[in-house]
Amino acid sequence: MTDTDVVPFRVEIPQAEVDELRDRLARTRWPADQALDGERGIPLGLTQQLAARMAGEWDWREHEAALNAHDQVATTVDGTRIHAVHARSAAADAPVLVLLHGWPGSVVEFQRVIAPLQELAHVVVPSLPGYGFSGPTPDGGWTSQRMAAAVAELLARLGYDRYVVHGGDWGSRVARDLAVLQPERVAGLHVTMTMGLADPDDERAAARATRYAQELSGYMKTQATKPLSLAPALTDSPAGQLAWIAERFRDWTDPASDVLGPQTVDQVLANIAVYWFTGTAGSSSQLYWERREHPDDTWSATVPTGVSVFPHDLHRPVRHVVEAATNLVSWSELPRGGHFPAVEVPDLLVAELRSFLQLVTGTQSSR
């Protein structure tokens, strides 16, 4: 086998590591439960409740089996392993759809949308370099542009020379950079966030941006300036990793989605477990530092672009700004959902992606 080979991959976490996770959670040294006023982060009681579930009835093997129900691959690109779910359509000539997660997401984030999208397309879901089963990366410098180049190389090795790419969070930035890097190969770009395209005069967008800057961006400032200081705590403490990520799912989602409630909490815990089992708390945080050092915000003006706006997402795209910078062919404002639509409202995201695929490739949906 050479570094350029694409080989089958299975998620197989040793039982000793699963047992260690449960044991560490059961032995967590919790802070004192103080009587404190105001919103100061995820409540201690909620973190303890989630930890008790993760150490108890939650079953990692169920989610491992869900991942392994799809073909997966791995290859070495630019000195690091790149992993991806590769769920092929029954139709050999089906279009290719690439789904890109961000932080604190993973391939688990798309668990409930892969199968319905596979009815229409070959679905490729990479773990971004430094994240999950594509990490930790052995070096720095993994900008979103470098990640886009790695995804492009993975797709080429899979034999795909034309594809539609979707992304949210950092995935939207990597998808955007992929469209800039290889516009001749990207048949369509679909995103839920439009990083770098803002309108300070749009009242709704400005209010969302102000709340993010004042109340929700503490994690970002830490990861963008001192990621190495944070990494030991998150890598050594599963309760710390749990609280750090669960807070994002609590704060960035539609309250009606109740993502930490009974319908989806186990998927959220599995997403967190991917960071724990792979030890990628530190390497995944580095992208925030890289973004601060390399702030380029170029968008393709030629690749057909679609935007789905979910009402409770972190940032609110502004249509006229996006139209001025891109070849906008699709714009939807959805009634429900937030930052993690594949978890919160998978039905709406699947419908959006089916419609966009049909628009840019001419593929007829079976539904």
Distance CA 298, CA 6 (A): 31
Residue 138, in any domain of the structure: yes
Range of the structural domain that residue 291 is part of: 43-360
What CATH code is carried by the domain that includes residue 153?
3.40.50.1820
List the beta bridge partners of residue 188: 164
pLDDT confidence of residue 4: 87
User: Tell me: the pLDDT tens digits for 245-263?
Assistant: 999 999 999 999 999 999 9
Residue 30, in any domain of the structure: no
For helices 218-225 and 238-251, what crossing angle results, to 10°? 130
Which residue, 31, 151, 45, 14, is CA-closest to 96?
A: 151
**Rounded to the nearest 5°, which phi and psi values hold at 267?**
-65, -40
| 246 CB burial (10 A radius; 0-12, 13-18, 19+) | buried
Distance CA 190, CA 188 (A): 7
Residue 227, in any domain of the structure: yes
pLDDT confidence of residue 201: 86
User: pLDDT-derived band of residue 1, with 50, 70 and 90 as boundaries?
Assistant: low
> How do beta strands 327-333 and 96-100 pair?
unpaired
Distance CA 305, CA 189 (A): 5
Residue 38, in any domain of the structure: no
When divided into structural domains, the chain yields a total of 1
pLDDT confidence of residue 360: 98
Distance CA 41, CA 46 (A): 11
Residue 125, in any domain of the structure: yes
pLDDT confidence of residue 297: 86
User: Tell me: the pLDDT tens digits for 67-106?
Assistant: 999 999 999 999 999 999 999 999 999 999 999 999 999 9
pLDDT confidence of residue 366: 46
Residue with tokens 């704060």: 251
| 68 CB burial (10 A radius; 0-12, 13-18, 19+) | middle
Residue 12, in any domain of the structure: no
Residue 136, in any domain of the structure: yes
Distance CA 363, CA 171 (A): 24
User: Tell me: the pLDDT tens digits for 195-224?
Assistant: 999 888 898 898 999 999 999 999 999 999
Question: What's the mean pLDDT when you consider all of the chain?
Answer: 96
Cα–Cα separations (whole angstroms), residue 97 to 68, 84, 114, 357, 366? 19, 13, 10, 8, 16
Residue 165 has pLDDT above 50, yes or no: yes
Model-level pTM?
0.96
Residue 111 has pLDDT above 70, yes or no: yes
Residue 24, in any domain of the structure: no
3-state secondary structure labels for all residues of the chain: CCCCCCEECCCCCCHHHHHHHHHHHHCCCCCCCCCCCCCCCCCHHHHHHHHHHHHCCCCHHHHHHHHHCCCEEEEEECCEEEEEEEECCCCCCCCEEEEECCCCCCHHHHCCCHHHHHCCCEEEEECCCCCHHHCCCCCCCCCHHHHHHHHHHHHHHCCCCCEEEEECCHHHHHHHHHHHHCCCCEEEEEECCCCCCCCCCCHHHHHHHHHHHHHHCHHHHHHHHCHHHHHHHHHHCHHHHHHHHHHHHHHCCCHHHCCCCCCCHHHHHHHHHHHHHHCCHHHHHHHHHHHHHCCCCCCCCCCEEEEEECCECCCCCCHHHHHHHCEEEEEEECCCCECCHHHHCHHHHHHHHHHHHHHHHCCCCCC
pLDDT confidence of residue 364: 64
